[in-house]
Structure formats: C-alpha cells, structure tokens
Structure 1
Amino acid sequence: MLLYMAQRIGLAVCVCLAVSLLAFLLLNASGDVASAIAGEEATPAQMAAIRTELGLDRSWVIRYVEWLGNALRGDFGNSLFFQQPVADLIVYRLPNTLTLAALAALVMLALAVPLGVLAALWPGSIVDRTALAIAVMGQAMPNFWFGLILIVVFSLMLGWAPASGSTTLAHFILPAIALGYYSTPPMMRLIRAGMIEALSSDYIRTARAKGIGTGKVIFKHALRNAVIPVISLLAVQFGNMLGGSVVIETVFGIQGLGYLAWESISRMDLPVVQAILLIVAVFYIALVLLSDMVNSWLDPRIRIQ
C-alpha cells in the first residue's frame, strides 16, 4: 500500500510540474503583456521600460523557475489590473467556487444515482429510456442557456431564488442546478452500467435465493459494489466543475475563480490567469489522487495490479 501511494504521489507531482510549465509557456506566448498594459499609443521606449519592470526581457527559463519557486511559497505576484496580490484575490474568490462545485456535485448525485438505479432495474424499458433521456438532455443543452432559463423562470417569474450574486447560500441554488445537471449524464450512465453488471452477478442471485429483501439487495449489495468506479468519476467531475465554472459564474455573477479567470483573460492579466490554472490543476490532480487511494482501499485488487 505504501509503495502504491508513493508511486501515485510521485506521478501527481510530475503532472503538476508539467501543467505549470505548459501553462506558463502557453500564456506567455499568447500575447504581449507590455503592449496590453501600455496601450496602442505607447512608444518603443515606454514598452521597453514596462518589459524591464515586469522582467519580461529575461529568459523564459529564469522567469519560470522564479515564478514556480514563488508559487510554492504562496506568492503568485501582483495582479496587473487589480493592483493587489494575486494570492489575496484567490483567497477571497476560491470559497465561492468550492461552494458552487460542492452543491453542483450534490445535485449531480441526487439526479444520477436514482436515474441510474431505475434504468438498471428495467434495462431497455420505457423507464430506462426516460431516465437516459432526462440525463442526456442536461448535456445536450448549453449550460449558459439552461442557466438563463433558470433565471427567467425561477427568479424573474416565480421569485424563488436570486438571479445573481454570491452573498448567501440561496444565490448558489440556480447555478448549482445548472452546473450539476450538465454533469449528470456520464455519472448516470456509469451507475447504470455498474448496477446492471452487479445485478447479474452470482452473489446477487445467492442473496435473492436466501430470501434477502429487494431493497437490501439493491442498495446494500449491488449499489455498494457498483459505486467503486463512481468515486473516480466523481473526483474527475468535481475537478471539471472547478475548472468549468467560468461560464456559470459569469452568467450568475458569482465572484469565484471562474469569473476572476474571465476578467483576467479579457484584460491580459497573466499573473492571475497563471495562478488560477495552477491552483485548479493542483485541485484536479489531488482529487484524482484521493480517489485512487480510496479505490485502492475499497478494492485491494487495484493496488496489487
């Protein structure tokens, strides 16, 4: 178990370093920060002064090593637009994104688990097709369009929830539904497939032959064994929600990392964008690593392989 954990942690660290390097190179190649700051009417001397002040005249290797070393200490530099430390911006915005992702994950599970179980109990029936249609509809609709529909119906017409903002928990209800419903189909299909496989297993037939009740067979035996691959997908989906909340946070005016990323990209604020990419990637990799550990604990065959 310790060797397996060490291998996974080592791989996670390598992936984090690769992501940080790739993000640094791509963002620095995406445009001239000095010209974005100075404006179109800036003289070459002013552009050169800005490049010297920001250290853009140095080798990218030196700048990357310096940025990574500072990032490991929690120092991501200063925002070019907001004129304050990037770390302070992230500390202020990150709780809103985590809250949105957590609530969206709950919405996803609340939809995917019952739909997946019902579809597996009657495969090929009208119940199965209806469950699949409900789930797939969420992924077929653009999440920004679905978010706008939720605002019009439940906020403007019915007045049940706020349309925008992030000051109270009520502000996260509609965006969590929009983001969670969009992430439901892969989870529902995985639960359905796992349940169908589990229900056709010999131990389920033995449990039924012993007279164990249907509910106990489904939820204690079948669902318990079908949930192992779901843990890995849940980690991936939660990471996708953290990284993919840009559109939802923009539509609902949530002051989170996604909205901060959109603001920073539109203003060429590279220090903020680099920090957000690195933090989201670290969260994503940490979640996958945690799911691997949990799965190896639940199923020893994984770590043996």
Structure 2
Amino acid sequence: MTRYILSRIGQALLVLWAAFTLSFLLLQAMPGDAVLIKFLNPDYGLSPEQIQAIREAYAVDGTLLTQYLKTLANFLKGDFGYSIQAGVPVSAQLAVNLPPTLMLAALGFAAAVGLAVLIAALSSLAPFAWLRNLVQSIPSLFVSVPVFWLGIMLIQIFSFRLKLVSVINPGPWESLVLPVATLSVPIAAPLAQILIRSIDEIRTRPFIAVAVAKGATQRRILWRHVAGNAILPALTIAGVLFGELIAGAVVTETVFGLNGIGVLTEKAVGNQDLSVLQAVVVISAAAFVTINLLVDLLYPILDPRLRTPSGATA
C-alpha cells in the first residue's frame, strides 16, 4: 500500500511539473509585453531608462531559462511573484479571489452529485416505463446545454420573471443559488449517465438474481447491492470532471459577476499579466491533480479486489 501511495504521489508531482513548464512556455510565447502595456503610457512620463529599470525589477528581461528557473524556485517556496498591473503580490490577489471560486466549485460539485444520484435512482425506481425512459433522457439534455446560456436563462426566469432569487445586491448565500445551479447541471449529466449504465450492468450479475430470489425489494437491491458497485466508475469520471468544474466556474463567475478567479483571469488576460496567469494555471492544475490523487487512493479502500491478500495494492 505504501508503494502504491508513493507511486501515485510521484505521478501527481510529475503532472504538476509538466503543467507548470508547459504553461510557462506558452505564456512566454504570447505576443505583447505587460510592462510596456502599463508603463509605456505617456501619462506616466517615464523615460526608456526608467522603463528598463522596471523591467529589471520584475525580472522579465533575463533569458528564458533564467526566468524559468527563478519562477520555478519561487513557486516551490510559495512565492507567485508580483502582478504588474495591480502592483501587489499575486498571493494577495489569490487570497481575495480564490475563496469565492472554491466555495462555488465545492457547492456546485455537491449539487451535481446529489442531482446525478437522484436521476439515477429515479431511472431505476420510477413506477412507469415511460417515466423511467424520460428520466434517462435528462442527462443527454443537460450535457448539451452551454453554461453561459443556462446562467442567462436562470437569471431571466428565476430573477427577472418569477422574482424568487435576486441578482441585484443579493445576500452572501442568495448570490450562490443560481451560480451553483448553473454549474451543477452540466457536471451532473455525465455522472448520471455513468451511474445509470453501471446500475443497468450490475443488475445483470448473478448475485442480483440471488437477492431477487430471496425476496428483496427493488429499493433494497438498489441501495444495498447495486449502489456500492456502481459508484466506482462514477468516482473515476468525477475526478476527471473536476477540470471541467474549474473551467465552468470561471465562465459562471463572469456571467453572474462574482469576484472570483474568473474575474481575476479575465483581467490578467487583457493586461498580459503573466504572473497572475501562471499562478491561476498552476493552482487549477494542483486542484485537478489533488482530486484525482484522492480518487486513486480511495479505489483500494472501496474495492477490496484491488488489494492483494498481503494488504498491498496490486
């Protein structure tokens, strides 16, 4: 088991390093110069010598290798550099903008899981065949809905027409209702599809026939015998969907005007603020890798078949 854990942690660190390196190279290849975008403005009245001194202070004039090694060393120490546009440490900006995104992502993921489980349960327990078929078609509809369009429609219906949720000066929790709903729908769709297919496949196995022969009800069979086995494939796709969750959160924040990573990224792209963009990419990759690492470590716990008799993972 220890060897398995160390192997997965090593792979996670390798993925993080690759994400950092690739993002660094791509960002450096972007046209434009953040220092010139901000300080070449005539209103500042800076001479070419002063602008060059600013470039040296931000360490953007060294060779590509020098900048890479320095940035990597700073990231390993938790130093994300300075935002050229804001003139403050990137970590200070993240401290303000990251918590709203994490809150939105966590609530959105929880809502997506709940919605997916509800759809999968109804597709098995609904009393009529036409109703079960209707419920099974819902994920296909959900997965085809663009996030930005869904957010706009929810605002139009629940805020402007029904006036159930305010989007103008809402309370701290009220402001999350529609964004969470917007974010959870497209994430719930593939989860529900995997759960439905897993449930249908597991229902054909011999031990289900034995349970039926013993007189177990459909509800007992679903929750006691099917659910535990059906959750493993869904657990895998849940880890993969976390990357889509982060991307969806950025779009959702833009639609609803939330002060999260989405707003920070939008401003950084417009201003070519590479330090901010590099930090956002690495943090997003770290969140994605962490979730998938936890999924990998949960597998041997949830499925004893993945453990050898000695207790080590095969």
Question: Could you state the TM-score of these two structures normalised by the residue count of structure 2?
Answer: 0.89
**Which residue identity is paired with 1:130?**
L
For 1:15, the equivalent position in structure 2 comes to 15
Contact kept in structure 1, 2:143 and 2:190, CA below 8 Å: no
For 2:162, the equivalent position in structure 1 comes to 158
In the alignment, structure 1 residue 172 sits paired with structure 2 residue 173: no
Measure, in 2, the Cα distance between the counterparts of 1:283 and 1:167.
Answer: 28
Residues 199-256 of structure 1 deviation map (CA, whole Å, 9 limit, x = unaligned): 1111111111112222111111101110012122222223421233221101101111
For 1:194, the equivalent position in structure 2 comes to 198
Contact kept in structure 2, 1:138 and 1:182, CA below 8 Å: yes
Measure, in 1, the Cα distance between the counterparts of 2:146 and 2:105.
Answer: 18
Q: Does the residue aligned with 1:244 lie in a helix, a strand or coil?
A: helix
Shift of 1:300: 3.4
Contact kept in structure 2, 1:38 and 1:46, CA below 8 Å: no
Q: How does 1:101-112 map to 2 (within 5 A)?
A: 101-112=105-116
In the alignment, structure 1 residue 35 sits paired with structure 2 residue 39: no
Percent of residue pairs bearing the same amino acid type:
32
Unaligned runs of 5+ in 1: none
Unaligned runs of 5+ in 2: 308-312
In structure 2, do the counterparts of structure 1 residues 44 and 113 end up closer, same or farther at CA, with 3 Å as the change threshold?
Answer: same
Question: Could you state the TM-score of these two structures normalised by the residue count of structure 1?
Answer: 0.91
Contact kept in structure 2, 1:78 and 1:86, CA below 8 Å: yes
RMSD: 2.3
**Which residue identity is paired with 1:36?**
I
In the alignment, structure 1 residue 293 sits paired with structure 2 residue 297: yes
Residues 250-297 of structure 1 deviation map (CA, whole Å, 9 limit, x = unaligned): 110111112211121112111111101101100100100000100121
**Which residue identity is paired with 1:78?**
Y
Contact kept in structure 1, 2:166 and 2:174, CA below 8 Å: yes
Contact kept in structure 2, 1:239 and 1:287, CA below 8 Å: no
Shift of 1:166: 8.0
Shift of 1:150: 0.8
Measure, in 1, the Cα distance between the counterparts of 2:170 and 2:18.
Answer: 34
Measure, in 1, the Cα distance between the counterparts of 2:176 and 2:168.
Answer: 9
For 2:99, the equivalent position in structure 1 comes to 95
In the alignment, structure 1 residue 276 sits paired with structure 2 residue 287: no
Contact kept in structure 2, 1:207 and 1:217, CA below 8 Å: yes
In structure 2, do the counterparts of structure 1 residues 164 and 101 end up closer, same or farther at CA, with 3 Å as the change threshold?
Answer: farther
Measure, in 1, the Cα distance between the counterparts of 2:6 and 2:84.
Answer: 39
Contact kept in structure 2, 1:166 and 1:253, CA below 8 Å: no
Measure, in 2, the Cα distance between the counterparts of 1:80 and 1:298.
Answer: 47
Shift of 1:167: 5.8
For 2:310, the equivalent position in structure 1 comes to none
In the alignment, structure 1 residue 237 sits paired with structure 2 residue 238: no
**Which residue identity is paired with 2:178?**
L
**Which residue identity is paired with 2:28?**
N
Select 1:113's aligned residue among 104, 111, 117.
Answer: 117
Shift of 1:23: 0.7
Shift of 1:110: 2.4
Contact kept in structure 2, 1:165 and 1:255, CA below 8 Å: no
Residues 18-73 of structure 1 deviation map (CA, whole Å, 9 limit, x = unaligned): 00001111011112323323347798666644433322221112211211211122
Q: Does the residue aligned with 2:55 lie in a helix, a strand or coil?
A: helix
Residues 107-127 of structure 1 deviation map (CA, whole Å, 9 limit, x = unaligned): 2122211222333568xx533
Contact kept in structure 1, 2:152 and 2:255, CA below 8 Å: yes
Select 2:134's aligned residue among 126, 130, 135.
Answer: 130
In structure 2, do the counterparts of structure 1 residues 43 and 31 end up closer, same or farther at CA, with 3 Å as the change threshold?
Answer: farther
Measure, in 2, the Cα distance between the counterparts of 1:166 and 1:90.
Answer: 23
Measure, in 2, the Cα distance between the counterparts of 1:219 and 1:112.
Answer: 15
**Which residue identity is paired with 2:9?**
I
Measure, in 2, the Cα distance between the counterparts of 1:220 and 1:284.
Answer: 31
